[in-house]
């Protein structure tokens, strides 16, 4: 059984079609990256799946629960970190988690043990007696994850968990998400491609309220990413002349130059591996770097979303 199952989900706000027939399946235990440009429908989808909004039509089940028929059971089965989580800022983290544990019916012993466990997991045990009002954005985000996990949910929804954090805060948040693998299913909505590439097992790319593609991360890269090479040197005029020559080669798709580096995308990877470096030598180039570039999720995203926007 899927942890999240969506079938032909639609959500209209008057003439605006936020979701236009979305389909999605997320396997249990997956860290799933839900990608899309701003306005693609990511937050609307999460609001529906967490019971905060109702779809115009379609069906969805989360942790085996029909989201339209059993709201209380859905609430007990999921955790949710919104983009801007809210807290009672006069409380300490321990008090806040104890309060949430009471709402979920945990005993005093369970609440105390769970709070200790979670505060250690999110690296807030040393500030467990400080008021939340003095916390940084990163600390609040990590506390928000702990709050979402207090009742052992089967599915955890994260809406832009690292988008407003500084580099140190992002690193801490991503490490925390990685640590959740195997504890529950994680659905992470974001537009930060590097975060998804780092922590997610599977990726779904949404645009204009519909799913463009869903696949395991590595399969997605293999299927859609364009093979490319990067070549750099100090003699920029010579590189520019060589770039003009390469643009006439049949197996070269494009050549882009920036700051002494040529980014060369190719149609025939084997031909490029066989002929590109000898061509550089024949042109008399002195190279600082010659590298076959690993395809990135950004390449795939821009290719798919760009195609969608052109329709």
DSSP letters, 187-244, are: EEEES-HHHHHHH-SEEEEEETTEEEEEEEHHHHHHHHPPPEEEEEES-HHHHHHHHH
The residue ranges of the chain whose pLDDT is under 50 are 310-311
* Domain end among 223, 238, 269: 223
Burial of 277 (0-12, 13-18, 19+ CB in 10 A): middle
Token duo for residue 71: 């709201």
Do 158 and 265 lie in one domain? The reply is: no
Do 167 and 24 lie in one domain? The reply is: yes
pTM over 0.85: no
Do 136 and 271 lie in one domain? The reply is: no
Do 286 and 161 lie in one domain? The reply is: no
pLDDT at position 310 is 38
Tell me whether residue 302 is in a domain.
no
231 and 266 in contact (C-beta within 8 Å)? no
Q: Angle at CA 252, nearest 5°, toward 247 and 257?
A: 55
Backbone phi and psi for residue 241, each to the nearest 5 degrees, phi listed first: -65, -40
Do 212 and 244 lie in one domain? The reply is: no
pLDDT at position 306 is 67
Do 46 and 177 lie in one domain? The reply is: yes
Tell me whether residue 309 is in a domain.
no
51-104 per-position pLDDT tens digit: 999 999 999 999 999 999 998 999 999 999 998 899 999 999 999 999 999 999
Tell me whether residue 177 is in a domain.
yes
CA distance 221 to 193: 13
pLDDT at position 311 is 36
pLDDT at position 125 is 93
160-187 per-position pLDDT tens digit: 998 778 888 888 899 999 999 888 999 9
201 and 30 in contact (C-beta within 8 Å)? yes
CATH of the domain at 161: 3.40.50.300
Do 116 and 247 lie in one domain? The reply is: no
pLDDT at position 295 is 67
CA distance 113 to 296: 42
Burial of 195 (0-12, 13-18, 19+ CB in 10 A): buried
pLDDT at position 308 is 53
Q: Report the chain's C-alpha Rg in angstroms.
A: 24
Do 231 and 217 lie in one domain? The reply is: no
Domain count, the chain: 2
Tell me whether residue 125 is in a domain.
yes
180 and 186 in contact (C-beta within 8 Å)? yes
Beta bridge partners of 264: 229, 255
Which structural domain, as residue segments, surrounds residue 175? 4-223
CATH of the domain at 269: 3.30.70.100
Torsion angle, alpha carbons of 149, 152, 157, 158, to 10: 20
Do 114 and 208 lie in one domain? The reply is: yes
Do 40 and 96 lie in one domain? The reply is: yes
Query: Coil, helix or strand for 66?
Result: strand
Do 122 and 174 lie in one domain? The reply is: yes
Sign of CA dihedral 163, 167, 168, 170: positive
Do 164 and 265 lie in one domain? The reply is: no
């Amino acid at each position: 059984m899927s942890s999240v199952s969506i079938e032909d989900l639609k959500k209209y706000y008057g003439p605006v079609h936020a979701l236009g027939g979305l389909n999605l399946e997320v396997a249990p235990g997956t860290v799933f990256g839900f990608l899309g440009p701003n306005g693609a429908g990511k937050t609307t989808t999460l609001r529906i799946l967490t019971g905060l909004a109702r779809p115009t039509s379609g069906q969805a089940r989360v942790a085996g629960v029909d989201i339209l028929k059993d709201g209380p059971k859905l609430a007990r089965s999921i955790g949710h970190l919104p983009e801007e989580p809210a807290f009672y800022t006069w409380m300490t983290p321990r008090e806040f988690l104890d309060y949430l544990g009471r709402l979920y019916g945990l005993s005093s012993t369970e609440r105390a043990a769970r709070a200790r466990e979670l505060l250690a997991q999110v690296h807030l045990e040393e500030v467990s007696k400080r008021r939340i009002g003095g916390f940084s954005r990163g600390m609040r985000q990590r506390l928000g994850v702990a709050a979402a996990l207090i009742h052992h949910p089967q599915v955890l929804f994260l809406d832009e968990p690292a988008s407003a954090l500084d580099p140190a805060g992002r690193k801490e948040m991503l490490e925390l998400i990685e640590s959740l693998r195997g504890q529950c299913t994680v659905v992470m909505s974001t537009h930060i491609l590097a975060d998804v590439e780092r922590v997610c097992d599977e990726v779904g790319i949404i645009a204009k309220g519909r799913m463009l593609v869903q696949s395991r991360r590595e399969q997605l890269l293999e299927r859609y990413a364009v093979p490319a090479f990067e070549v750099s040197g100090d003699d920029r005029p010579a590189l520019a002349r060589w770039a003009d020559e390469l643009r006439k080669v049949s197996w070269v798709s494009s050549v882009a130059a920036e700051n002494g580096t040529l980014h060369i995308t190719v149609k025939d990877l084997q031909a490029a591996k066989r002929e590109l470096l000898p061509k550089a030598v024949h042109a008399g180039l002195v190279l600082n770097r010659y590298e076959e570039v690993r395809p990135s999720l950004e390449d795939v995203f821009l290719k798919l979303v760009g195609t969608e926007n052109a329709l």
